[in-house]
Chains A and B, each alone.
Chain A
């Protein structure tokens, strides 16, 4: 089961991203409707379409013989598109919801999107497959703390990519712990 974390600035620019593979098996079975997908065209555009519709991951699943799904082969571009698209809902929900943690705010293809919006309008977006509310909440809280610590660095500006190895290491550790 894989998780994708993106820290997005208010101008929708990712400042940090992380792909985390957890040992837990995916709880969501692929939809019955998406079995036996036809390979209907070989043009590049068809490839885009296939990827965007989420079919590529399914195809891979069948190629690997089902079972545990590995997220490694999933199209990174599509993951990013989904994370970006989910901002629509996040922005909408944030205006009504006072909490910072937005649990399973959006669903797209097989992904569930959870988000965490800091008071500074930074959006932490996590794409995940299973249901793990408390773990994700704890994970977000830790990432937030790490993020705030990074931001307190006077040499770090708000819109710069977070390149700190310490930050990265700690986020990974936190992901390992909670996800």
Chain B
């Protein structure tokens, strides 16, 4: 693609044309060779004849150059209108390049060459002025060279020739010489008055052809009349004839170079022009000033490298144009002047005079500005002059000229040799200056530096360039438009104005695509699906040219443009990549981890959504029109992936359909690449479905087997952890899930489809590592905009560790892709949430703005902290399962319960039987039962809450351990079940009020597996569990109230000795002292009578029992004599025990030492009491029986004191003595416990005080007679010293006593221990009853 070089006005164009059967490579090679000759020294050009033709010939001593330029494309045919206006636009000469081999005949080459030239240039065209054909000899030079002499314009360059370049240079010089000679011919034609009229006839005149001459100009211009016949007779040689008739008037100017010293002369000449011109206006109707002629002369001199002459002629022309109204030509002359200035400056090189006041290029720029302004307002145009295409073209070219001037100055760091080089010879392609090609060149700082050095700012350049863009571009031909648009895009791009560049590029793409589409429509009959655009060109030469210019890579280049456009708008069209099926394996490793955590970050949106959508649509239609199905698919899927949040529903549907159709088409066309999976990360979570309870496994340490002993010792098994908070416990419970070899596993995958269409997934499977896992991929459809769970199942084939790394997913006609999905551990979640909050924190701020903030650019918006912390991450943790060897399976075959419900009375014992069947092929050698019931959970909860008193804690724990609803005597049962066998186990049930349901858990396993080798036995074993829920109904029927203990005085009962008192027998054993009476009220709240039995089991006393029938609704008091209990202090001083191994909790209640002691005594005596007394009940007339629990009953301090044996035993006795002071004791009549002494008689009270406690006591005794008024005592009544009594020792005291009235008396004796505290003092009490009557025997 040729670019409009700044100095194109000074370029001497010579078209290179391939001739004959030359191959493209050979042509390119020779063309490159020729192109190296950019400058041709004027002095090298052979001077022609010294006649008129030598007018433009350089003098041998002149210093300038011909600036050669070798395009390979002929100008557009529509541009031939400019042939006189802008000769530099056309190839002045044509060089045919042929290669001759044996087969080619030189004559045919010549003929072909001539035909080609004729084909390219219309017959009435001025150009080319000269032509020549270079035949490069191929091979070893066996072609017959002598033929060359006969064929004019044919030069053979033998392959043996050493310095071809020099030869070519000489040949070129000859050609140029010919062309320069032709210049003279053309000018001489124009210089004729007819020629001049023609020149001024229209805006874009052409050289008058022969047919134009019959105009009757005879009156004024006889010369032209004379010329007329010759034209008619020899039309083809018109040029040659016309030059003869040069106007004598202008003859003085023929060789201006000779007049250089006297410009005043030429000025004078030009001043003569206008009057003549005015005269002719009436005839032709156009301004016939010589301005245009002078301008053409200027053009030719400029081309001929004679800048001084050119400058002179241009100045003349400008002077004329200033007064006349011919803006376009005026502007063109200004452009010429600007070019002259540049050429002169570049010729001077470093010696260029530096104007200090103004930038040296300012003058040029000003001229161009003026020219642009003139071009923009071409003035009133007549109908025939409306060559808008040409006007628009020269206008835009002028703007680009200025744009390149500024740009080159800017990029070359100012006005200097580098800038000159770029401006003069930019080369065939876009020339990138070193200032813009180093790596940092795109930085604004570099641009600023260039601006400050050169004094040209970027906005200034942009303002100039943007003038070129406008609706008038539509006037241009395809090729010109593309050249211009591309130049604009190139300039914007070099300036770093990406968005503007992209704007223009969209137009370029539109242009190309329009051609593609139009060409296809033309060539429709021949067009078959699958032909790429490069091949369609045969119909339309324009299309071929365009495609060829577009670096001949065809579709790919167009798509590259489209991708670039999208990239600048923040759309990554390659977000979804192609995977080549061949090297898929290697690529996967690097590809997967990088986007593991990219999706969940909320990035700020970049770009302009409306524009993005429009551009995406356009990109798609480009790819569809090309047609390039893989790109269609890639674009649409990338757009869906990246932009689905802003795309509308219709767009999404359309793109999805387009992609699937395109993928089908691509496959049909044999596309080997497949599209990568595109829809982000479809699976959000993978979870293992827990197997049903009956199949779930529990891992137990082997040590559990040994620990059964302690459990049997009556501890709460669940309370084994001594710590309330145990951090390790949670870790332990979070261990791997246990699964069993050869048993199917199920995973739930949650998929998310963010799109508005149903997302089809061709295959979805788990990606695992570790033990082999047998799983099948599934295909499915995820509904639009929803989360969708699917279940995948598989079977682990060996035991070991199974790691579920992630999943493989494949879209229809896409490549499978593996995604890793780390488990959402707390760490991971924490990390993610921290990242998200950081991102959220930063979301409002922008570090990079504009294009730098595009996603995926080096300046990422997520701060480095986030990325560094993410790189610091540990290895992701995946879902892991421990696969254990095969396990047996048990099921409950039969149970003795109907509907698994059991109905019990409170305290009733019952049994239920379960028949278990081993349905697996493995034997079961381990069987354990554990139980749960509805009372356990609240009790445990109360315990863990810890608000209970020590006493209540004990009670609750006692209930849990000693009164379970279910129990199992494992010693009695079989624990081995061979495979396929059945076994029946028996479970004992006890009714407990408040229990509504329960559950029997049967854990079993296969422990004693045959070990294949001497490997260490594993430290764990696995059990499974079957559970059997039981509905329990417990009827509450007997209530106990008012437990009490009374002192038992034997005599009291004698009066009640009635035959019907059945409990009489109970008292048979009762001794006089050391007994007490246990009573309790039993109420029947149920509808049936119950028989209640109280049983006494005491050491040293014969067992006894009492029973009665409690009718429904009735309450009975039951009485049982008990022997008093004595507990050693060592027992009572113990703290209330804990039945669980709970962590010790400091008591909250602050009891004093004594209170504490009392509480302990109460506790221990109560325990002892319950050991001694048992209650049973029996259904009256039925078989059901059970226990009656008294544990709810409270024990009070008075009860304790009665129950407890005193520490001293006081035995009281009344007797008399004989009359004489004999020692004989006469017993007093005694019945039951009552003495019958006579009144007014001295009796003696003997106290025998024994220390039955375990330590020695120092005692005193008090005697109290009640009523004291009617009895006389001798001596002290209180504080009788007894002295120290060792343990077990006893002492007797006697004190005389006289009852002075009849009646009932009671004599109390209290023993007091002398010790520090008062409370301890009373250690024994005894009471003696006496009934004093007159008639008592004496």
Interface residues of A (CB under 8 A from B): 8-14, 30-38, 40-41, 43-46, 48-50, 52-55, 57-58, 76-77, 80-82, 84-89, 91-93, 95-96, 105-110, 121, 157-159
Q: Is the CB–CB distance between A11 and B395 below 8 Å?
A: no
1/0 contact string of B999-1011 vs chain A (CB within 8 Å): 0000000000000
Nearest first, the 10 closest Cβ-Cβ pairs linking A and B are A10-B849, A34-B471, A49-B510, A55-B471, A88-B497, A33-B472, A45-B513, A158-B844, A10-B846, A45-B514
Q: Is the CB–CB distance between B606 and A11 below 8 Å?
A: yes
Chain A, residue nearest B568 (CB): A84
Q: Can you list 10 contacts pairing A with B, beta carbon distance less than 8 Å? A: A11-B853, A13-B606, A45-B622, A53-B469, A53-B473, A80-B608, A89-B459, A91-B850, A106-B462, A159-B844
Number of A-B contacts (CB under 8 A): 182
A83 to chain B, nearest CB (A): 8
Q: Is the CB–CB distance between A11 and B514 below 8 Å?
A: no
Q: Is the CB–CB distance between B517 and A31 below 8 Å?
A: no
Question: How many Å lie between the Cα of A33 and that of B386 in the bound state?
Answer: 10
Question: How many Å lie between the Cα of A38 and that of B388 in the bound state?
Answer: 10
Contacts of B513 in A (CB 8 A): 43, 45
Contacts of B607 in A (CB 8 A): 11-13
B1191 at interface by CB-CB < 8 Å: no
Q: Is the CB–CB distance between B388 and A12 below 8 Å?
A: no
B1167 at interface by CB-CB < 8 Å: no
Q: Is the CB–CB distance between A121 and B849 below 8 Å?
A: yes
Question: How many Å lie between the Cα of A52 and that of B481 in the bound state?
Answer: 13
A97 to chain B, nearest CB (A): 10
Contacts of A95 in B (CB 8 A): 444, 448
Question: How many Å lie between the Cα of A31 and that of B373 in the bound state?
Answer: 11
Question: How many Å lie between the Cα of A95 and that of B1275 in the bound state?
Answer: 125
Question: How many Å lie between the Cα of A94 and that of B444 in the bound state?
Answer: 12
Question: How many Å lie between the Cα of A84 and that of B500 in the bound state?
Answer: 8
Known contacts A33-B472, A50-B474: A158-B608 contact under CB 8 Å? no
Question: How many Å lie between the Cα of A34 and that of B469 in the bound state?
Answer: 11
Chain B, residue nearest A87 (CB): B499
Q: Is the CB–CB distance between A159 and B604 below 8 Å?
A: yes
Q: Is the CB–CB distance between B518 and A41 below 8 Å?
A: yes
B625 at interface by CB-CB < 8 Å: yes
Question: How many Å lie between the Cα of A43 and that of B983 in the bound state?
Answer: 87
1/0 contact string of B452-489 vs chain A (CB within 8 Å): 00000111001100110111111100000000000000
Contacts of A93 in B (CB 8 A): 459
Known contacts A31-B376, A49-B511, A91-B850: A105-B471 contact under CB 8 Å? no
Chain B, residue nearest A13 (CB): B605
Contacts of B622 in A (CB 8 A): 45
**8 Å CB contact of B378 from A33, A40, A88, A96:** A33
B879 to chain A, nearest CB (A): 36
A116 to chain B, nearest CB (A): 15
B392 at interface by CB-CB < 8 Å: yes
B391 at interface by CB-CB < 8 Å: yes
Interface residues of B (CB under 8 A from A): 376-378, 386, 388, 391-392, 395, 444, 447-448, 457-459, 462-463, 466-467, 469-475, 492, 496-500, 502-503, 506-507, 509-511, 513-514, 517-518, 569-570, 604-611, 614, 618, 621-622, 625, 843-846, 848-851, 853
Question: How many Å lie between the Cα of A11 and that of B473 in the bound state?
Answer: 32
Chain B, residue nearest A88 (CB): B497
A-B contacts besides A12-B570, A32-B377, A54-B471, 8 pairs, CB < 8 Å:
A11-B604, A11-B846, A14-B608, A37-B471, A48-B510, A55-B473, A85-B500, A88-B498
Question: How many Å lie between the Cα of A11 and that of B570 in the bound state?
Answer: 10
Q: Is the CB–CB distance between B621 and A44 below 8 Å?
A: yes
Q: Is the CB–CB distance between B844 and A45 below 8 Å?
A: no
Contacts of A54 in B (CB 8 A): 469-471
Q: Is the CB–CB distance between B474 and A38 below 8 Å?
A: yes
Chain A, residue nearest B848 (CB): A10
Q: Is the CB–CB distance between A92 and B444 below 8 Å?
A: yes
Q: Is the CB–CB distance between B514 and A10 below 8 Å?
A: no
Question: How many Å lie between the Cα of A49 and that of B609 in the bound state?
Answer: 21
Q: Is the CB–CB distance between B395 and A33 below 8 Å?
A: yes
A62 to chain B, nearest CB (A): 11
Contacts of A53 in B (CB 8 A): 469-471, 473-474, 507
Contacts of A82 in B (CB 8 A): 503
Chain A, residue nearest B472 (CB): A33
Chain B, residue nearest A97 (CB): B459
Question: How many Å lie between the Cα of A85 and that of B500 in the bound state?
Answer: 5
Known contacts A33-B388, A37-B475: A85-B514 contact under CB 8 Å? no
Q: Is the CB–CB distance between A37 and B474 below 8 Å?
A: yes
A119 to chain B, nearest CB (A): 13
Contacts of B457 in A (CB 8 A): 96
Chain B, residue nearest A39 (CB): B474
Known contacts A41-B518, A45-B625: A33-B844 contact under CB 8 Å? no
Chain B, residue nearest A50 (CB): B474
Among the interface residues A45, A52, A55, A110, which one has the most CB atoms of the partner chain B within 10 A?
A45
Contacts of A45 in B (CB 8 A): 509-511, 513-514, 517, 621-622, 625
Question: How many Å lie between the Cα of A110 and that of B466 in the bound state?
Answer: 10
Among the interface residues B472, B511, B845, B853, which one has the most CB atoms of the partner chain A within 10 A?
B472
Question: How many Å lie between the Cα of A93 and that of B459 in the bound state?
Answer: 7
Q: Is the CB–CB distance between B514 and A84 below 8 Å?
A: no
A128 to chain B, nearest CB (A): 16
Known contacts A33-B472, A54-B471, A88-B462: A81-B611 contact under CB 8 Å? yes
Contacts of A14 in B (CB 8 A): 608, 610
Question: How many Å lie between the Cα of A49 and that of B510 in the bound state?
Answer: 6
Q: Is the CB–CB distance between A46 and B510 below 8 Å?
A: yes
**8 Å CB contact of A109 from B470, B844, B845:** B470
Known contacts A84-B499, A89-B497, A159-B844: A105-B470 contact under CB 8 Å? no
Known contacts A58-B471, A159-B843: A12-B608 contact under CB 8 Å? yes
Contacts of A36 in B (CB 8 A): 386, 388
Q: Is the CB–CB distance between B507 and A158 below 8 Å?
A: no
Contacts of A8 in B (CB 8 A): 608
Q: Is the CB–CB distance between B469 and A108 below 8 Å?
A: yes
**8 Å CB contact of B514 from A9, A49, A80:** A49
Q: Is the CB–CB distance between A89 and B462 below 8 Å?
A: yes
Question: How many Å lie between the Cα of A29 and that of B1224 in the bound state?
Answer: 160
Contacts of A43 in B (CB 8 A): 513-514, 517-518
Q: Is the CB–CB distance between A88 and B500 below 8 Å?
A: yes
Question: How many Å lie between the Cα of A39 and that of B848 in the bound state?
Answer: 43
Q: Is the CB–CB distance between A77 and B614 below 8 Å?
A: yes
Q: Is the CB–CB distance between B625 and A80 below 8 Å?
A: no
Contacts of A32 in B (CB 8 A): 376-378
Known contacts A31-B471, A32-B376, A46-B510: A105-B610 contact under CB 8 Å? no
Chain B, residue nearest A14 (CB): B608
Question: How many Å lie between the Cα of A110 and that of B470 in the bound state?
Answer: 8
Q: Is the CB–CB distance between A33 and B392 below 8 Å?
A: yes
A84 to chain B, nearest CB (A): 5
Q: Is the CB–CB distance between B850 and A12 below 8 Å?
A: yes
Contacts of B492 in A (CB 8 A): 88
**8 Å CB contact of A80 from B444, B517, B610:** B610
Q: Is the CB–CB distance between A157 and B843 below 8 Å?
A: yes
Q: Is the CB–CB distance between A84 and B472 below 8 Å?
A: no
Question: How many Å lie between the Cα of A33 and that of B607 in the bound state?
Answer: 34
Contacts of A33 in B (CB 8 A): 376, 378, 388, 391-392, 395, 470-472, 475
Contacts of B845 in A (CB 8 A): 158
A73 to chain B, nearest CB (A): 15
Contacts of B518 in A (CB 8 A): 41, 43
**8 Å CB contact of B470 from A11, A34, A86, A87:** A34
Question: How many Å lie between the Cα of A84 and that of B614 in the bound state?
Answer: 13
Contacts of B507 in A (CB 8 A): 48-49, 52-53
Question: How many Å lie between the Cα of A159 and that of B470 in the bound state?
Answer: 34
Question: How many Å lie between the Cα of A95 and that of B500 in the bound state?
Answer: 18
Known contacts A48-B618, A95-B448: A88-B499 contact under CB 8 Å? yes
Q: Is the CB–CB distance between A52 and B853 below 8 Å?
A: no
Contacts of A31 in B (CB 8 A): 376, 470-472
Chain B, residue nearest A109 (CB): B470
